[in-house]
């Protein structure tokens, strides 16, 4: 009996150490005066944080990343929500096709998507290549699974058909039904998907690097440049990235916890 | 045309923007690569694939396949052990906190993760210094900027992903099965080998495929950590995209298509295993 408790404690402790040590080390490194000769930092300072956040490039790249992430979320919500709702309710035969488009990105490496987009759009007279617009389009594709899945789950959970019939018997049109009756009810799914999309796009490096490169620098590109010449200031940037990803996950977990109650009542019914 | 059919047609029309978008930015770019990698001066050809397999490219495939298989295997084994420890933990707080940790860290990756490992296991990294003080020198036999360093960094995102994938399957293992096995005189090893693992097998295999694809398509972590030093398929394709190497479009496209094939096998295999109805007992 004691042996069984012991292996579990060892497994969990090793897991915890492996996952947390790199994060804590990065945080501590970013506020250390010097930490390359001794086993504990020689002193603490906020100098690296002040230096890196004072740069105009820091603010520019942060704003660029926030803008691209927000634009991707906006396009994705506007594109996927009506589609998922309409297919769920009116055109079930379209579902496998939508599902297919939402699964392909799992098997599409960033480098391959970038190559395909460049190959096709450099031969087409559209103002897309080397513009932030193509980056947003690529991100919408990349994050399609993250937006579609939670939406479908939410639609299946709220009985969209009854809601729609109720709204329409009261005289609501299709768009009115979607915006005033369905959307408020599937909002947890929309928010969940949006947060996943946002945090993925905010941290994405490959497509940003290959599709636009230095013309429109995003935060991860700035971070990678810094790792090559100033480790301390790079560590502050890495901490910011971790905090953004962490905040998004915590919000998702918190929302899921709140969402438990209505699901329980549904199951009880 | 009947009225009903006209209504059905117009119902499809609402979906048009989504499908147009998917075609334009997802399907057509891939088809462009397919067409270009199969076409030569005299029409359809396989010559591009022949040229794609230079020693450097073959080497990059070997490295990518090896790295993906190693980290997927480490992820599957480690994630299953830790996942089992989580679901059988007595304290609810421990279960919730560790699942949340897996949830959060599964989203970490790319440049910040690579950098965190430089700080931790680089030549003057925190753990490197600690081990040195304890009398263990990692360097020069180990380098974080190498395949073994990449393996450790990849396991960091494979492990939590595996935990998230396998926990539902582990929760499906009924206590009664174990009790029945014990009552029939089975040892713990026999229970695992003859009962639990066969039930978990489809989930384990499916997760392995997904983890494999996850590693095979990864680029940002490898690029930040090792730059062009470790020769991976994604690093090669990215170099061709940026035009760092003599530009041979058909060659890059052929390379991309082969890696797409590897990814497709993994994702389709995963889907097949995940959606197939499995009988627990034959």
Of all residues in chain A, the one with the smallest CA distance to B102 is A19
The CA distance from B96 to the nearest CA of chain A, in Å, is 10
Q: Where are the alpha helices (DSSP H) in chain B?
A: 3-14, 16-22, 28-38, 47-52, 55-87, 92-105, 110-121, 126-133, 147-171, 175-183, 188-191, 197-216, 220-226, 233-242, 249-275
Task: Give the confidence band of A1 by pLDDT, cuts at 50, 70, 90.
Answer: low
For B44, the 3-state DSSP assignment is: strand
Nearest to B21 by CA among A92, A151, A136: A136
Give me the half-sphere count of Cα atoms (radius 13 Å) on the Cβ side of residue B270: 19
Q: Does residue A185 lie within any of the structural domains? A: yes
- B82, B110, B126: residue with CB nearest A25: B126
- A8, A113, A238: residue with CB nearest B116: A238
Q: First vs last Cα of chain A: how many Å apart?
A: 42
Co-location of B101 and B30 in the same domain: no
Q: What is the tens place of the pLDDT at every residue in A53-110?
A: 898 999 999 999 999 999 999 999 999 999 999 999 889 999 999 999 999 999 999 9
Co-location of B184 and B153 in the same domain: yes
Q: Does residue B89 lie within any of the structural domains? A: yes
Task: Give the confidence band of A43 by pLDDT, cuts at 50, 70, 90.
Answer: confident
Contact partners, residue A60, CB within 8 Å, separation at least 6: A217
Tell me the chain B residues in contact with residue A238 when contact means C-beta distances shorter than 8 Å: 111-112, 115-116
Q: Which residue stretches of chain B have pLDDT < 70?
A: 1-3, 244-247, 277-282
* Predicted pLDDT at B282: 37
Tell me the chain A residues in contact with residue B210 when contact means C-beta distances shorter than 8 Å: 106
Q: Answer whether residue A269 shows pLDDT above 70.
A: no
Ramachandran class of B88: left when φ > 0, alpha when ψ lies in -120 to 50, beta otherwise = alpha
Q: Does residue A132 lie within any of the structural domains? A: yes
Q: Does residue B280 lie within any of the structural domains? A: no
CA distances from B49 to A113, A152, B33, B254 (A): 19, 40, 12, 6
* Predicted pLDDT at B245: 62
Of all residues in chain A, the one with the smallest CA distance to B261 is A107
Co-location of B32 and B58 in the same domain: no
Q: Does residue B174 lie within any of the structural domains? A: yes
A170, with CB counted inside 10 A (0-12, 13-18, 19+), is exposed
Q: What is the tens place of the pLDDT at every residue in B87-141?
A: 999 889 999 899 989 988 888 888 899 999 999 998 888 888 888 888 888 888 8
Contact partners, residue B85, CB within 8 Å, separation at least 6: A7, A8, A11, A12, A15
Nearest to B180 by CA among B165, B166, B199: B199
* Predicted pLDDT at A71: 97
CA–CA–CA angle A200, A202, A208 (5° rounding): 95
Residues 165-204 of B with CB under 8 A from A: none
Co-location of B14 and B104 in the same domain: no
* Number of domains composing chain B: 2
Handedness of CA A217, A223, A226, A228 (dihedral sign): negative
Q: Does residue A105 lie within any of the structural domains? A: yes
Note whether B214 and B154 are within 8 A (CB): no
Co-location of B40 and B62 in the same domain: no
* Predicted pLDDT at A4: 66
* Predicted pLDDT at A263: 36
Could you tell me the CATH number of the domain that includes residue A119? 1.10.3720.10
* Predicted pLDDT at B31: 95
Of all residues in chain B, the one with the smallest CA distance to A9 is B85
Is A111's CB within 8 Å of B256's CB?
A: yes
For A39, the 3-state DSSP assignment is: coil
Q: Does B38 touch chain A (CB under 8 A)?
A: no
Question: What is the span of the domain harbouring residue B199?
Answer: 51-275
How many Cβ atoms sit within 10 Å of the Cβ of residue B225?
Answer: 25
What percentage of chain A carries pLDDT values higher than 90? 58
* Predicted pLDDT at A226: 86
Distance CA A183, CA A56 (A): 39
Q: Which of B4, B127, B241 to mutate to test the interface with A (most CBs of A within 10 A)?
A: B241
Co-location of B56 and B37 in the same domain: no
What are residue B150's phi and psi, to 5 degrees? -60, -40
Instruction: Specify the DSSP class assigned to residue B43.
Output: E
The CA distance from A8 to the nearest CA of chain B, in Å, is 5
**Torsion of the alpha carbons at B18, B22, B23 and B27, rounded to the nearest 10:** -160
Note whether B43 and A126 are within 8 A (CB): no
Q: Which of B126, B254, B275 to mutate to test the interface with A (most CBs of A within 10 A)?
A: B126
Co-location of B32 and B76 in the same domain: no
Q: Does B89 touch chain A (CB under 8 A)?
A: yes
Q: Does B161 touch chain A (CB under 8 A)?
A: no
How many Cβ atoms sit within 10 Å of the Cβ of residue B231?
Answer: 18
Give me the half-sphere count of Cα atoms (radius 13 Å) on the Cβ side of residue B17: 12
């Amino acid at each position: 009996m004691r042996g069984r408790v012991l292996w579990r404690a060892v497994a969990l402790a090793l897991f915890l150490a492996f996952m947390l040590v790199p994060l804590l080390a990065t945080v501590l490194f970013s506020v250390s005066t010097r930490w390359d000769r001794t086993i504990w930092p020689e002193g603490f300072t906020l100098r690296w944080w002040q230096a890196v956040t004072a740069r105009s490039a820091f603010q520019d790249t942060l704003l660029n990343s926030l803008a691209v992430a927000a634009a991707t979320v906006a396009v994705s919500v506007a594109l996927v929500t009506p589609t998922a709702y309409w297919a769920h309710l009116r055109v079930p035969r379209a579902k496998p096709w939508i599902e297919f488009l939402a699964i392909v990105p799992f098997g599409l490496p960033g480098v391959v998507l970038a190559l395909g987009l460049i190959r096709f759009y450099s031969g087409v007279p559209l103002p897309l290549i080397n513009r932030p617009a193509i980056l947003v389009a690529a991100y919408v594709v990349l994050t399609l699974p993250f937006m579609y899945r939670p939406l479908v789950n939410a639609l299946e959970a709220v009985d969209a058909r009854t809601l729609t019939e109720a709204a329409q018997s009261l005289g609501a049109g299709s768009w009115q039904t979607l915006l005033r009756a369905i959307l408020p009810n599937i909002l947890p799914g929309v928010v969940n998907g949006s947060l996943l999309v946002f945090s993925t796009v905010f941290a994405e490096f490959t497509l940003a690097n290959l599709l636009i490169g230095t013309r429109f620098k995003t935060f991860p590109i700035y971070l990678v440049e810094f790792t090559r010449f100033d480790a301390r200031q790079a560590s502050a940037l890495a901490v910011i990235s971790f905090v953004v990803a962490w905040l998004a996950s915590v919000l998702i977990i918190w929302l899921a916890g709140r969402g438990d109650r209505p699901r329980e009542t549904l199951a009880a019914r | 045309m009947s009225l009903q059919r006209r209504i059905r047609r117009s119902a499809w029309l609402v979906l048009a923007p989504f499908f147009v978008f998917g075609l334009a930015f997802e399907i057509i770019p891939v088809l462009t690569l397919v067409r270009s990698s199969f076409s030569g001066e005299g029409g359809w050809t396989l010559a591009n694939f022949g040229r794609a397999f230079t020693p450097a490219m073959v080497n990059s495939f070997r490295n990518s396949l090896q790295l993906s298989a190693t980290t997927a295997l480490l992820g599957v084994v480690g994630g299953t052990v830790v996942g089992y420890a989580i679901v059988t933990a007595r304290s609810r707080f421990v279960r919730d906190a560790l699942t949340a940790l897996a949830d959060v860290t599964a989203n970490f990756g790319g440049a910040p993760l690579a950098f965190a490992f430089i700080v931790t296991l680089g030549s003057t990294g925190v753990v490197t210094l600690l081990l040195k003080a304890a009398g263990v020198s990692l360097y020069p036999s180990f380098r974080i900027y190498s395949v073994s360093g990449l393996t450790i960094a990849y396991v960091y995102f494979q492990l939590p992903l595996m935990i998230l994938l396998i926990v539902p399957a582990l929760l499906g293992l009924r206590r009664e099965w174990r009790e029945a096995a014990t009552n029939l005189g089975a040892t713990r090893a026999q229970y695992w080998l003859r009962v639990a693992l066969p039930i978990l097998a489809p989930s384990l295999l499916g997760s392995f495929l997904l983890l494999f694809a996850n590693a095979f398509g990864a680029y940002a972590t490898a690029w930040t950590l090792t730059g062009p030093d470790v020769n991976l398929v994604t690093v090669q394709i990215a170099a061709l995209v940026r035009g760092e190497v003599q530009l041979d479009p058909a060659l890059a496209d052929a390379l991309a298509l082969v890696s797409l094939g590897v990814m497709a096998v993994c994702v389709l295999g995963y889907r097949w295993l995940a959606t197939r109805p499995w009988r627990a007992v034959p």
